[in-house]
Structure 1
Amino acid sequence: MKRILFVLLLLGLGACSEPDLPEGILDEEKMVELLIDLHLAEGLTSTFPIPFDSARVLYPYLENEVFRKHQIPDSVFHESLLYYMTDLRKINRMYERTIDSLNVKEKLRNP
């Protein structure tokens, strides 16, 4: 009887695990790291005392620097974002983590 319960428990745990990600899709942790840095770059761009048109030219440069920092091609990020956007719970969870991390960074910067 104990063996049957143990096997059922293992099967239940296996059924609850995350399915393998398709090839070329970043995991949630890496996506959150990228989203944090991309939003920081966007925020930095908006703080510069430059016209909007100039900021639109500057942001892609900063965005590319984020991808270079993480050694991720922008195409992989965009494909991963499209993948996660098909599951609202996952993308919401990732953005909640992103916002929480940005709030912590802001509090540490402005005690």
Structure 2
Amino acid sequence: MRTFQWAVMLIFLSCTGGTKPPKDILDKEKMADMLVEIHLAEAKVSKLNLRSMDSSVVVFRKLQQEIWAKHKVDSALYNKSYAYYASNPEQLGSVYEIVTKALAKSDSSAAPKK
């Protein structure tokens, strides 16, 4: 019985590894670029210290719309792409490696020089 369970697990793992993203979603680099800008927009809204959560949401949505327009992406494509990456941890991890490096780079370039 244990051999059967191991065989099933190996088959399952071999089927899930190496899955290529569908063609109708954003590629890793574009998704990472957008996520960098979205995280920076979230930080910007957070620094505004708006009194109401509603105001923060309105400002963030405006910034988000600007990001989508800049990248020529609509909300449906972004949401579909985000859902794909969120449901594939390995893919999401590689996207966030790019995001983390870009945010670290922008943070170091924004730091005052001595």
TM-score calculated relative to the size of structure 1: 0.76
Whole-angstrom distance in 1 between the partners of 2:22 and 2:95: 18
CA distance in 2, matches of 1:107, 1:51: 30
Q: Give, in whole Å, the separation in 2 of the partners of 1:78 and 1:98.
A: 17
Matched to 2:24, the amino acid is G
Give the secondary-structure state (helix, strand or coil) at the position aligned to 2:87.
Answer: coil
Matches within 5 A, 1:1-111: 19=20, 21-53=21-53, 54-110=55-111, 111=113
Q: CA deviation at 1:18?
A: 7.1
Kindly provide the CA deviation profile for residues 87-109 of structure 1, in whole angstroms up to 9, marking residues without a partner as x: 11110111121022111101011
Unaligned 5+ runs, structure 2: 1-17
CA distance in structure 1 between the aligned counterparts of 2:43 and 2:94, rounded to whole angstroms = 21
Return the alpha-carbon distance in structure 2 between the equivalents of residues 96 and 33 of structure 1.
11
Aligned partner of 2:105: which letter? V
Letter in 2 for 1:41: A
Give CA-to-partner distance per residue, 1:8-58, whole Å, 9 cap, x none. Answer: xxxxxxxxx873x42421111110011011111111111113214221221
DSSP 3-state at the match of 2:78: helix
Moved over 3 A (4+): none
User: Normalising by the residue count of structure 2, what TM-score does the alignment of the two structures yield?
Assistant: 0.74
Any stretches of 5+ residues in structure 1 without a counterpart? 1-16
3-state secondary structure, aligned to 2:39: helix
The alignment-based identity, stated in percent, is: 27
Q: How many residues align structurally? A: 94
